[in-house]
Amino acid sequence: MPTATAIAHPNIALCKYWGKRDRALNLPSVGSLSLTLAPFSTTTTVEWGAARDEMVINGREASAEEARKVFAVLDLVDSWRPKVRVLTGNDFPTAAGLASSSSGFAALVLAACAAAGHPRTPEQLSVLARRGSGSAARSIFGGWAEWKVGERADGMDSHAFEIANEAHWDVRMVVAIFDAGPKAISSRDGMAVTQETSPYYPAWVASAPRDLAAGRAAVRNRDLDALGQVMERSALRMHACMMAADPPVFYWKSGSVWAQDAVRSLRERGIPCAWTMDAGPNVKVLVPTEHAELVARRLGAVADRVHVLEPGGPARLVG
Ligand code: 2P0
């Protein structure tokens, strides 16, 4: 029975994705830019030909909702596919403050296409991963990746590409955990209510391309001051937009604001660093490697836990 195993790392967006121009195809309203992060990873094995469709996550049977999303993506790999068995596991806790859906769908599509004998280019894999979860489009690539908004109605040009690989820049991402519990509202639902009700949504969509261009240039130039300004602006604009929705989509906790203050005061002391936040209260700080331990110690004074992550490689087959 054809079997393949793939590994992928999660990623954190520096210029954010929030909102969809097509919900069925999972097409974004704005382009985004991210850093793929090691050593955390998802490992997924796909057996192409099984007695029944079956999915196991970290040793437990997947919920009906989890399985539905995964098998819908496998239908796109091959609409005449046989029954398939999927075994997947993360080597990082679900409460680590990183989206396991980004590494999860990237590893899934790579393993599935290999097991099915349908090799695809990284861009085609990125399109497939996007259908499972938008941020997964970026985890196909290592290092610094950009996910293009695209123009085509069928979404085939809305995929990620590599801006620079994981060796490009000696930085770390310090992840400060302020709440390990499940989120109050999923990204998908949060995006929908923002898009439908936030008066700031059109302004968010209009402002994003400029930030993306500035972010891309800052990454290429290894300019942490410039990238930091873009990162914080993109995160603040995304959160301001969702906070203005009805009902509000509000992920911040008091610790999140404390961490933002700590980053500003470190910068005033001459430590180059900048924060970002996603659909949760945790704060992620980009910093040159030489200062990562100092930032981790400072955030560790208040955060529940701190992880120090490094740029990771692309999704890859391991068996
Ligand atoms: C991002 N986030 O760019 C943004 C910033 C969270 C905040 O992508 O609906 O799981 O599956 O496409 O990718 C999280 O949302 O959402 C996310 P879907 P996804 O990383």
- What is the domain-level CATH number for residue 191? 3.30.70.890
Do 301 and 197 share a structural domain? yes
Looking at this protein, which amino acid is placed at residue 155? G
The pLDDT value given to residue 96: 63
Q: Give the alpha-carbon dihedral of 43, 73, 10, 303, to 10 degrees.
A: -110
> Do both 186 and 212 map to the same domain?
yes
Residues 31, 81 share a domain = yes
Q: How much distance in Å is there from the Cα of 52 to the middle of ligand 1?
A: 30
Residue 47 lies in a domain: yes
Show the tokens assigned to 2: 């054809």
Instruction: Kindly list the protein residues whose Cβ atom lies closer than 6 A to any atom of ligand 1.
Output: 13, 16-18, 26, 32, 99, 101, 133-135, 187-188, 278-279
For residue 100, is it within any domain? yes
- β-pair partners for 180: none
* 120 domain-assigned: yes
Does pTM surpass 0.95? yes
Residues 53, 152 within the same domain: yes
Mutate to test the pocket of ligand 1, among 35, 133, 252 (most ligand atoms within 8 A of CB): 133
pLDDT at residue number 98: 77
Give residue 92's pLDDT. 87
Given 149, 168, 187, the domain boundary residue is 168
Looking at the 3D structure of the chain, how many domains does it have? 2
Which domain covers residue 253, as residue numbers? 172-311
Residue for token pair 């930091």: 228
Q: What is the pLDDT of residues 269-303, one digit of tens each?
A: 999 999 999 999 999 999 999 999 999 999 999 99
CA distance 184 to 174: 23
Residue stretches of the chain with pLDDT short of 50: none
For ligand 1, the distance from its centroid to the CA atom of residue 56, given in whole angstroms, is 23
The verdict on residue 237 lying in a domain is: yes
163 in the same domain as 135: yes
Residue 262 lies in a domain: yes
Q: Please work out, in degrees rounded to the nearest 5, the angle formed at the alpha carbon of residue 201 by the alpha carbons of 200 and 205.
A: 120
Last residue of a domain, one of 141, 168, 195: 168
Domain presence at residue 265: yes
Domain of residue 50, CATH code:
3.30.230.10
Q: List the structure tokens of 136.
A: 């997964």
Gyration radius from the chain CA atoms = 19
- Which residues are CB-contacts of 48 (< 8 A; sequence separation ≥ 6)? 1, 2, 3, 4, 81, 82, 84, 112, 115, 116, 117
Choose one of 116, 133, 168: the last residue of a domain. Answer: 168
Burial class (CB in 10 A: 0-12, 13-18, 19+), 310: middle
Quote the tokens at residue 7: 């590994």
Question: Atom of ligand 1 at shortest distance to CA of 11?
Answer: 20
- Tell which residue, 87, 100, 160, 101, has the closest CA to residue 125: 160
Q: Which atom of ligand 1 is nearest to the CA of 12?
A: 20
